[in-house]
Amino acid sequence: MSKLYVDYAQYHQLIDQVIAKVQDDGFKPDWVLGVSRGGLFLADGLSRALRCPMAVIAASSYGAGEAGEGTVQGVLQVSASVACVGHLAGRVLLVDDLADSGHTLEALVHHVQAHYPAIHALKTAVVWVKPHSVFKPDFAAHWMTDDAWIVQPFEVRDFQSRDSK
């Protein structure tokens, strides 16, 4: 699988694009709910730009593949609680880095709606959407036409030792 390396300058431009799309839409969340780990940079940017608090939910469906790169999607695991200061309610923007297969975001939407009934409006935002995603987020910076593995600037350490071998 080909890799797309994204540097911090490019990443911040993409975050700004998502922020602009949310602002243009007029959706004013009471909370930004970031999915740890990949969604945290976007969630932080949105939380600051939209002037609303950020909450965090941990979720993972990727395990080590044959090369140990964490590139094999498996069973979704979700944290038992959301980390936030306050009560998660009202309008929530659920944020992750990308919609790859889309199954993680789709499952998280159902999970959040089932476990947090005080949420009355839930929208989703990502930086990238892959072409085969079954889930279409409300906001995205880039709808990809190929299936490259995205190496985000904060993930470079994950690939440096493997790529140099």
pLDDT 10s digits, 77-134: 888 778 788 889 999 999 999 999 999 999 999 999 999 999 999 999 999 999 999 9
Separation of alpha carbons 159 and 94, rounded Å: 27
Strands 54-63 and 98-99: unpaired
Whether 71 shows a pLDDT value over 60: the answer reads no
* pLDDT number for residue 126: 98
Strands 119-129 and 139-143: parallel
- Predicted TM-score (pTM) of the model is 0.85
Q: Compute the half-sphere exposure of residue 102: CA atoms within 13 Å on the CB side of its CA.
A: 12
What tokens were used for 46?
């949105």
Mention the CATH class of domain 3-160: alpha beta
Separation of alpha carbons 3 and 110, rounded Å: 31
